[in-house]
Amino acid sequence: MYVCSCFGITEKQVKEHADAGACTPRQIASACKAGTDCGSCVRRIQAILGRGSCPRRELVDKGEPALSGLSGPPAAPVLRGLSEVA
């Protein structure tokens, strides 16, 4: 059954993206564009995702920062005019 008729995305495809780690409608949209045109499928996507396992959501539900513990390079300074802002 189609979830997003604008882009021809099926319920099976949404579930596959969820199994691959997408746990919000925005992440589903990034993966396959569903929900980015008319938006009528967003509630259906939310229903499919339900409250399933999502590591970030579980952290937020516990009151912990969802982005803590992520490793990566430090953010680059923002240059405005001729001065550097840290």
- For the chain, give every domain's residue range: 2-66
Helix (H, G, I), strand (E, B) or coil at 76: coil
C-alpha–C-alpha distance, residues 61 and 39, integer Å: 26
Question: 79 — phi, psi (to 5°)?
Answer: -100, 125
C-alpha–C-alpha distance, residues 86 and 75, integer Å: 9
Q: Tokens at residue 85, please?
A: 């802002």
2-66 folds as Arc Repressor Mutant, subunit A (1.10.10)
**Residue 85: pLDDT over 60:** no
* pTM listed for this prediction: 0.61
pLDDT at position 37 is: 96
Which tens digit of pLDDT belongs to each residue from 23-81?
A: 889 999 999 999 999 999 999 999 999 866 666 666 667 777 755 554 555 656 666 66
Helix (H, G, I), strand (E, B) or coil at 6: coil
**Residue 83: pLDDT over 60:** no
